Amino acid sequence: MNNYTLKSSPKTPLLKFDAASGVFEISGRSIPENSIEFYKPLLNWVDEYVKQPNDSTTLSVKLEYFNTSSSKSFVELFRKLEDIADQTKIKVEWYYDEEDEDMMESGQDFQHILKIPLELIPVEE
């Protein structure tokens, strides 16, 4: 299976999803004009990945900012990962600037709705 990589832009995050290692990263800013269309190719890729997941899957989320429509796509991504929690060890790492309460609270919100582990990781600027 090929990896899924998309370079970041001022409005869209870096998407780096390595199927062989099971290491995934979303970083930067996520404020695309149309989040559904932007994340659709990634979600389709994840649909293929979950058919034969790695023994361990780690998603690192390192966002400076994201809009509400992006959060809906993140929930869809997290749900796809929840579906394979019995086949692979899943971990979500939510990095946030230690002074950014909004990003910390967003991570906490995701913690409450997910059935897979989400670790909050403060980062010093």
Domains of the chain: 4-123 (3.30.750)
pLDDT the model gives residue 71: 96
The model's pLDDT over 68-123, given as tens digits with 9 standing for 90+, comes to: 999 999 999 999 999 999 999 999 999 999 999 999 999 999 999 999 999 999 99
**Res 18: pLDDT:** 98
- pTM of the predicted structure, to 2 decimals: 0.95
Q: What is the largest CA-CA distance in the chain?
A: 39
Is residue 66 within 8 Å of 33, Cβ to Cβ? no
Q: State how far the Cα of 63 lies from the Cα of 48, in Å rounded to an integer.
A: 25
- Give the pLDDT confidence score for residue 124 in this predicted structure: 87
* Residues ≥6 apart with Cβ < 8 Å to 120: 94, 96, 104, 107, 108, 111
pLDDT > 80? residue 35: yes
pLDDT at residue 29 greater than cutoff 90: yes
